[in-house]
Amino acid sequence: MANDDVSEAIAARALAQIGVAFKLHGRKAGAGLDCVGLTAHAMDVQHDLPCPPRDYHMAGDYIDQICTYMEKCGFGFAAPDAPLQVGDIILLRPGPRQQHLGIWTGAGLVHAHAGIRRVVFTPGQPVWPVCQIWRKKGD
């Protein structure tokens, strides 16, 4: 699968989860997803990725675990101020001691919103500071 196709598939898989219930450490759409579970589901286009981390708290620093996971999955860093591309995985900072992952679709962000208790689509540019961007590495 070409890299552009993978990026489009990541965005499409994320969009397909809109409305799924939020569940901390959730990894299955039918049982609920958190932001890590949603991201892992969206990235697993070819159904061969390792299991994502589970041992983190909602208000905690788990960036090292996420960075390790993204590397294992074949995603590399883009500069935090780089223009967003379809299929980018974005690490956001919605508040102090809070980290949140989302998937850029080209028109907005798909993310598992703990407050709304659902996976949602937020149109437009992210409203929270972008800390990191990951992209699928080219073959």
How many domains does the structure of the chain reveal? 1
Cα 93 versus chain centre, distance: 13
Helix (H) or strand (E) holding 36: helix 35-43
How would you class 84 by CB atoms within 10 Å of its CB: exposed for 0-12, middle for 13-18, buried for 19 or more?
middle
Share of the chain above pLDDT 70, in %: 93
In which domain, by residue range, is 50 found?
A: 3-136
Look-up of token digits 């552009």 = 4
pLDDT in tens, 79-103: 888 999 999 999 999 988 788 999 9
| CATH classification of the domain holding 72 | 3.90.1720.10
pLDDT at residue 79, rounded to an integer: 85
The predicted model scores a pTM of 0.90
